[in-house]
Structure 1
Amino acid sequence: MKKNKTQKLMLKDKLLKNVRGILICTIIALSLLAGIALQISYDSSAFEKRQNFDTEIKTAVDSLISALTVNYQRYENGEITKEEALASSEEIVRNTRYNNGNGYFWADTADGLCVVHMNPDYEGTNRLDAVDKKGTYYIRNVIKAADNGTNFSEFYFTKPNVNGIFKKRAYTAKFEPYGWYISTGNYYDDINKAILTLRFKQSISDIILILVSILSVLIGTKQLNKVISKITEPLTTVTKRLHMLSQGDVYSPGSENITETDETGILANAENNLIKQLQIIVEDITVNLSKISSGDLRISTDKAYTGDFIPIQKSIKDITSYLNEVLLSINQASNQVRGGASQVSDMSRTLADGATEQAGVIEELSASLDEVSYHVEKNTVSVDKASDYIRQINDKSREGNEKMQSLLAAMENIERTSKEIGSINRTIGAIAARTNLLALNASIESARLGNEGKGFAVVAEEMRQLAGQSAAAVNDTETLIETALAAVANGSQNTADTAEQLVKITDMINEFKDIMREIDSESRQQNNELKEITQGIGQISGIIQNNVAAAEECSAFSEDLNTQAVLLFENIDKFTLIENM
């Protein structure tokens, strides 16, 4: 649940959370290090303070012994007597003070006799067996410390002008001329007061360090928020615009107000260039597809396509160029077919009129042989003329059949090209699927990398959405191609039917041509053999009847061909083509 909440945070919140955590940890670590350093420093100061107290009493004893030595040298030099030297030495020990008058000295002999003490109650008493409140023979320890060279000893003793027994640390050195053990010491409560002052200063320093750390966290967090906001605000702007772009919004302005020269500025500039390029391409494709949907194939793709968009521009050009070429050929063929069908229809009507006229001639022949001869000669001329027309019709029919075969080949080429386009479209669909798979893998990798990879999860999601939109566009394109293939298949079937009708018309024209040759032969025979005119008239009557039926059938076929040609021309005329291709 916590991981999901972290994933839903925006980049600014993630950066602020992580960097703030690092900042706090760093400040805590530095504070701990500083605290440890302060602790070590104050511990060292406390140790030095204790050492200073030891040094102070050692120096005091050494100084006192130096003074006693000087005094004893005066006796040795004969300046004073032995008694005066001894008395003077006692006064020196008794009256010498240090540490603002708080430090004093006393002297004991090896057998425990107190020779000199600031407290007259102790002078002249033997304290060798004296013990403190812990049961320690402190005088023995003092003498022992001086003899073995350790010099320092600890015991509990009274404190001048203060009630109670206090722990004391003493330093003892032996003055050899008199055998005195000169001692002085510091009370531990005085030492602890000095160390307590240091500890109080240490506590003040710790409090200041904590306050400075807290203030550093607050100020650092505030400054960090400003810095991260400055970094993430352009990214947020670019992300929102790219999200709008993924939803199909191409024409909204880009992030042109971002003027930074760092990576965010480079990203914003790339986004602006992408949007401008897409605006150009979408506008160009929209205009050209609108023209195609309205039947206007006079399109141009002169916009500046770049990168992977260049094949799209080339495909549009190739498709429109090929459609122009094919439809223009169909248009020309339909014009020729329509013209040929009109001629066949006219010739069929002419042939029917001629057959009717021949029937009238046969009726007149029964009344007059001269008139029959005249009509026979006229029939011969008409047959020659009809033969010429039949040859022309046959040539036009053959030419129309060839054009229809070319039209069939062109329609098959359109169908094959549409299938190739469908194959390319499926390839694009496969690329979209692979892009979707790559986006999914990128999402998995970003989740596996944790916080370091979460910044890429947004980009991976955008890739997945773009792949989905590409797949949808591919499906729409496949639907359009399938519709086009169905239309081409229908046109191919109609063209094949028309070609079959042209073949039938050609066969009928050839049959009619044979009949006309037979009429010509009969007419010439009637002209040479008028004696057989009755029989010839009967034959001519039968032939004329056949001619009338053939002419009517040919006229019907020519009318049907003309209708199909007009329909084909009307469909082709819906497209506006480039005539000079």
Structure 2
Amino acid sequence: MKNLKIGKKLSLSFIAVLLVTVAANLYSISNLKKAANLNDDLFKGPYMVTTESMGIRRDLVSIGRNIGNSILREQPVEYRKTILEDFESVNKRIDLIEKSFSGEENELVKNSQTSISNLRSSIDNLKNEYEQVYAFLEKKDYKHAEEMTAQNTKYWDIYSSCIDQSIKLYENAEKLGTQFNQSVKETSSTSRSISIALNIISVIIGVVICVYITRSLKKPIEELEVAANKMASGDFDIDVNYESEDELGTLSRSMVKMSNEIKDIIEDTVRVLGEVASGNFNIETNAEYIGVFKYIENSINKITTDLSETMEQINIASEEVGAASDQVASGSQMLSQGATEQASAIEELSSTISEISEKIKGTSENAKQANSLSLNAAKQVQEGNNQMKEMVKAMEDITFTSTEIGRIIKTIDDIAFQTNILALNAAVEAARAGEAGKGFAVVADEVRNLAAKSAEAAKNTATLIENSIEAVENGTKIVDNTADSLQKIINTANRTAKLVNDIAKASEEEATSISQVTLGVEQISEVVQTNSATSEESAAASEELSGQAQMLKSLIDKFVLRDSNKNIDFNKNEVNYFATND
């Protein structure tokens, strides 16, 4: 048993426990099925008989009530259908009860079968009695029908017998139900006891097998755990004594082999790294690096090779740095001198740019003043133009008024003409009147003279007004031409002001640009001064760098480097196991 594989040990143990468990479950399933069959028999037997017996009683009560109502209400036809349906329902229920008792052979079943037979006979007799009652009802002989259904009659005895038989069936069904219940309890108790016993046996077998398996596995696992913990803490001197042909025995032998191999590799790695730490890069590995440890061997060889090559390159670089630092020092001094000359030239350039900036600022101020004067002139011309427009409007009003006066004078002229005609008529009439009309003729003559003078004055006034209108029209034309000239002057003044404003803005922008140029020149001056200082510092740093290069070369000379002609066989691509397995 000791040399069996762990899988076989566990399989056999599991199969043994499983067989006992399956046996217990099969027995439990069998008992559950038996209990289910008993419950089904209970439902189809006593429970159904009880239900149908109660249904028979309800149907009998309905029959008795409807027969009584058909007599009392004298409505035999209306109740007959319901009564016959109740009789049919009773017979169907009796058939169901009779089927449920078939195949049973005990005292209660026999008594129930007798009750069924008696009940069926009583139902038939009750129906016959009802047919006789219904015959009287069809003849409307309600008195005889009521006498037949009264108490202590044959009908009443048969009806009471039917009720009693249905009650007896119900009582027998309850007794059968009690017997079924007792049988189920006994079966359940027996099944429970046997199931508990089988489960206890299963548990005992499982515990025994578990204890055996645990004891057979615990000791080697504890030895392997101790060995693994020692290896995890860095101690590869392990002691595993378990010997077997199972998986744990194989694991024990593999762990001892692994410990010895890792120990050899670590000792060789320590030796190589110790030589590297002392400055000897001309060293090689001796142990056999297998599997993933091959990456360690490749990494060690790559480290020693790369460091040797790096040190050699550093040595060459230190010599080149020493030579280059001397050149940098010389160049830095020349750069410093050139930077000083540049600073002087930039200061002169900055002074010139400042003068140009001041002149541009003056031009900008003059342009602003010219712009202001142009705007004021344009404003004054605009005011003169507005006044000319008001003058034109006034002359138009004069023209309109003169025209109205001309009309009035025309009216006066017409009145004078009419007056003259009236005076002439008055003179004619005075001449006709003779002496009596002489005084009136004198008056008419005076009136005619006044009318003639009025007409002459109106004519002269009209001539003057016409001349005034003509003069006003000529003045209006002159004013319109003057207004057009002023508008052109305004437009020219506005364009001039815009040009002067553009010149002022351009002057301001030029002043801003000159300021930025001045700022840039100052920054260049600062940069040149900084470059001069940096050049001096670079010269000093180059001298210091030359000294450091000499010291670095002396340090490199302390290391023992590999022979560049000696070839170390390793794969430079296999130096990082974790990178290749990501």
Q: Compute the TM-score of the two structures, normalised by the length of structure 1.
A: 0.28
**Max radius of gyration: which structure?**
2
RCO comparison, higher one (Cα < 8 Å, 6+): 2
In terms of fraction of residues, the more helix-rich structure is 2
In terms of fraction of residues, the more strand-rich structure is 1
Q: Compute the TM-score of the two structures, normalised by the length of structure 2.
A: 0.28
